[in-house]
Amino acid sequence: MDTRTEMIKGAARTFETEGFRGVGVDRLLAPSGSSTRTLYKHFGSRDGLVVAVLEARHRAFMDRLGAEADEIDPIGSLFDTLRRWLETHGAWGCMLLRARSEYASANAEIVALVEQQKREFREAVARRVEIGLGRADTGLATQVWLLFEGATAAASVSDVAVIEEAKRAARALAAVASGRGP
């Protein structure tokens, strides 16, 4: 693994467990054994490392989401992917939303990046809804997205089992939207 990738992976683990703004550069670099000079060489700044971590995390999740797509149950499989992701990475809540919260008034680039990433994810949810229903339904797509984000947050204070409940709720909403439900 190259130095840049090691730095991103190490910083991601640290941000995940300790947050973003309260963590010093030395603590961020400790897992990779890199120097401050190397940080500036690869990322330009500490915030540049944050951007790289958020980009890598988002891309990894979106790639996994695409790889685990299920044409038979496109909505339910969103939640299956989430459960597997959290079982692998830990249920710490959404790293992107935490970054947005911590940088809300400190770094417009990070805030804009997270907002763009969340738009991309919402579009992926909307595509899944469209596949599941055979037509677009922006209301249902928003509801499924809210269930997904809520399940991500709830799993961090409860248990990943709550994801199954969110999945059931999303399926029920989809059944109603398709005319098959109560």
Tokens at 175, concatenated? 């059944």
According to the per-residue pLDDT averaged within each range, which of 13-17, 64-68, 115-119 is highest? 115-119
pLDDT (0 to 100) of residue 142: 98
Cβ pair 9, 52 in contact under 8 A: no
pLDDT (0 to 100) of residue 71: 86
* Average pLDDT of the residues of the chain: 95
Model confidence band, residue 69 (pLDDT cutoffs 50, 70, 90): confident
Domains of the chain: 3-178 (1.10.357.10)
Cα–Cα distance between 132 and 90 in angstroms, integer? Answer: 29
pTM: 0.93
How do residues 159-181 score in pLDDT, each as one tens digit?
999 999 999 999 999 999 998 86
What mean pLDDT comes out for the span 64-89? 94
Question: 10 Å Cβ neighbour count for 110?
Answer: 20
Model confidence band, residue 182 (pLDDT cutoffs 50, 70, 90): low
